[in-house]
């Protein structure tokens, strides 16, 4: 396996770990407050890191077009997408939210088909149906006697996860366009810092409106630490590895490998979070991953 594929797998593992951290933190805070903290802290730490290693000049070396695209990608994917993702995590847990949001390659392919007139093959059709079926399995409660409010919570959580997947697909499409001209680790890291800093600054600027109770300033130390650590792993390491994988291999190879997160997240939900995972949840996760690989079958 080449470096690009290994980097994509590392991204999947990073996002699995961060999901566990986020779920724990969300027991004590709101999704929007959590997103403000993790983005602001991560962007600050990554920027300081670039200064410390004497590579801050790389940020100035990027073309203006790349900077603008990275900023837009960050605001769309990390701002709107990740907030919805956290809302879904809070409502339906890691074992359901992560697999559904990991279906974003289906929408990536949809944009490619609509905008670039890419051909629709049999594997793509089968893969799409597999992903939809997997999501349907994950949306089932498993117990017919649950209360209406619990069913409503599940539906809302699934909808949030689906919306997050759609928004992520747009953000990833944009960032993939940016890194086509990037061939080294330094510029990949610079792009990641720019996209993270852009949304962090935006959220902080609008904090008085979107987080009126200022929950991001009243957070417990343990919750704050979980978000900072999870943010560094997901946004610092995970996204850096994904962006780097784009520079070393094609999106058709990198995206499916990075989307194996559901398999790891299901295990993590059972082991670390003690979530009640049914056979339908396990089957749904496996089917979604299989569907993603079919989407990119050559």
pLDDT in tens, 199-233: 999 999 999 999 988 899 999 999 999 999 999 99
pLDDT of residue 92: 93
User: Tokens 């366009």 appear where?
Assistant: 177
C-alpha 85/C-alpha 163 separation (Å) is 8
Q: φ and ψ at 27, to 5 degrees?
A: -70, -20
The Cα 125–Cα 79 span in angstroms is 31
pLDDT of 146 over the 60 cut = no
Helix 3-25 vs helix 94-101: angle between axes, to the nearest 10 degrees?
A: 140
According to the model, what pLDDT value does residue 240 have? 79
Contacts of 238 (CB under 8 A, 6+ apart): 10, 11, 14, 15, 18
DSSP state of 274: -
181: pLDDT strictly greater than 70: no
Quick check: 142 pLDDT over 70?
A: no
Is 40 a residue whose pLDDT tops 60? Answer: yes
pLDDT at 28: 93
Give the H or E element holding residue 247.
helix 239-248
44-94 pLDDT, tens digit per residue, is: 999 998 888 888 888 888 888 888 999 999 999 999 999 999 999 999 999
Q: How far apart are CA 216 and CA 211, in angstroms?
A: 8
Token code pair at residue 290: 């299989």
- CA gap 43, 59 in Å, rounded: 13
Beta-carbon contacts of residue 267 (< 8 Å; ≥ 6 apart): none
pTM of the entire predicted model: 0.89
Residue 142 carries which DSSP code? S
The CA angle 151-153-155, to the nearest 5 degrees, is: 70
Q: Does residue 19 register a pLDDT over 90?
A: yes
What is the average pLDDT value for the chain, to the nearest integer? 87
């Amino acid at each position: 396996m080449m470096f690009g594929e290994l980097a994509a797998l590392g991204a999947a593992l990073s996002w699995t770990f961060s999901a566990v951290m986020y779920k724990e933190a969300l027991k004590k805070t709101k999704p929007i407050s959590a997103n403000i903290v993790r983005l602001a802290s991560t962007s600050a730490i990554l920027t300081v890191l670039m200064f410390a290693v004497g590579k801050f000049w790389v940020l100035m070396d990027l073309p203006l077009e790349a900077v603008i695209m990275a900023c837009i990608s960050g605001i769309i994917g990390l701002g709107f997408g990740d907030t919805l993702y956290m809302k879904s995590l809070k409502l339906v847990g890691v074992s359901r939210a992560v697999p559904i949001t990991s279906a974003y390659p289906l929408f990536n392919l949809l944009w490619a088909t609509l905008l670039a007139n890419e051909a629709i093959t049999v594997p793509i059709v089968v893969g799409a149906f597999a992903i939809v079926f997997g999501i349907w399995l994950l949306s089932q409660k498993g117990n017919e006697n649950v209360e209406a409010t619990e069913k409503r919570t599940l539906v809302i959580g699934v909808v949030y996860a689906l919306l997050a997947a759609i928004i992520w697909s747009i953000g990833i499409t944009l960032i993939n366009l940016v890194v086509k001209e990037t061939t080294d680790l330094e510029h990949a890291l610079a792009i990641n810092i720019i996209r993270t800093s852009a949304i962090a600054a935006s959220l902080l600027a609008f904090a008085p409106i979107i987080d009126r109770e200022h929950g991001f300033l009243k957070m417990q130390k343990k919750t704050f630490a979980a978000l900072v650590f999870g943010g560094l792993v997901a946004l610092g390491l995970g996204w850096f590895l994904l962006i780097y994988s784009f520079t070393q291999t094609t999106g058709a190879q990198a995206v499916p490998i990075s989307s194996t997160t559901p398999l790891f997240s299901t295990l993590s939900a059972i082991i670390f979070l003690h979530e009640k995972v049914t056979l339908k949840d396990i089957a749904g996760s496996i089917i979604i991953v299989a569907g993603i690989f079919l989407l990119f079958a050559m």
